[in-house]
Amino acid sequence: DVKVTQSSRYLVKRTGEKVFLECVQDMDHENMFWYRQDPGLGLRLIYFSYDVKMKEKGDIPEGYSVSREKKERFSLILESASTNQTSMYLCASFSSDPSSYNEQFFGPGTRLTVL
Amino acid sequence: QQQVKQSPQSLIVQKGGISIINCAYENTAFDYFPWYQQFPGKGPALLIAIRPDVSEKKEGRFTISFNKSAKQFSLHIMDSQPGDSATYFCAAFHPSNTGKLIFGQGTTLQVKP
């Protein structure tokens, strides 16, 4: 089974702090994603990465950055946390192998509260 | 062009009833339409998916109906059970082989016993 793990389930930070959210997948997937989930807005893509050290902005990249130094690990960084970044953050991975099933595999999420 | 619009935002159904969630898209380049199911405290997981060359796909009590000309698709849950209570997301797959998905806004389904 594909497993996507996220470093924390719950996180409370103060405004202005630098926040790191870590995601690790164990299936050698090329593509990894960071989303935020808010009620009524669905899942919105923040950043994605299709290879090590490669990244592309999603729909809402402002206030975030990412790092992918190793294939299995994709980090989301909030340079200076703000209260409007309080949300559920979900990481996902996907294989580019055309013979694999077209499925994004999600981690359990990190609920971040910024005070 | 890149949006997927989902309705309703919330749905309450009696046990044994039919739950129907609707989605609409605009970009005709989308070529794969999955539905994800999310239980509280969990990440979303793939439930069922369809390609635009078929009009219907059924897996157990879950059916996707697809109307290519109207650019709409819907999820039907037959004989809804309390265990189906979850948040459901429709999505459209961007044909770039990176797995990028465009998600709808989500529907919270509550099935009352």
Spatial separation of the C-alpha atoms in residues A75 and A3, rounded to whole Å = 16
Which amino acid does the sequence have at B98?
A: T
- The average confidence (pLDDT) of chain B is 93
Q: What is the pLDDT of residue B97?
A: 60
Q: What is the pLDDT of residue A89?
A: 98
pLDDT at residue B1 above 70?
Answer: no
pLDDT digits (tens, 9 = 90+) for A31-82: 999 999 998 888 999 999 999 989 999 999 999 999 999 999 999 999 999 9
pLDDT digits (tens, 9 = 90+) for A75-105: 999 999 999 999 999 999 988 777 666 788 9
Which member of A40, A50, A104 has the closest CB to residue B101?
Answer: A104
**CB B52 within 8 Å of CB B25:** no
Q: What is the pLDDT of residue A101?
A: 65
Helix (H) or strand (E) holding A13: strand A10-13
Write out the residues of chain A at the interface with chain B, using a CB-CB cutoff of 8 A. Answer: 4, 31, 33, 35, 39-45, 48, 50, 90, 92, 94-96, 98, 102-104, 106-109
Upstream peptide bond of B44 is cis (omega within 30 degrees of 0): no
Query: Which one of A9, A43, A103 makes the best mutation probe of the B interface by having the most chain B beta carbons within 10 Å?
Result: A43
CA B41 to centroid of chain Cα atoms = 20
Closest listed residue to residue A6, CA positions, set A94, A89, A67, A104: A89
Please, which pLDDT band fits residue A21 given cuts at 50, 70 and 90? very high
Cα dist. B38→A108, B35, B42, B45 in Å? 10, 10, 6, 6
> DSSP class of residue A28?
-
The C-alpha of B46 sits at a distance from chain A's nearest C-alpha, in angstroms, of: 7
pLDDT at residue B18 above 60?
Answer: yes
Q: What does chain B come to in residues?
A: 113
The C-alpha of B7 sits at a distance from chain A's nearest C-alpha, in angstroms, of: 10
pLDDT digits (tens, 9 = 90+) for B56-101: 999 999 999 999 999 999 999 999 999 999 999 999 987 766 778 8
Chain A residue whose CA is closest to B50: A102
Q: Which residues contact A89 (CB under 8 A, 6 or more apart)?
A: A6, A21, A34, A35, A36, A37, A76, A109, A110, A111, A112
pLDDT at residue B113 above 80?
Answer: yes
Q: 3-state class of A69 per DSSP?
A: strand
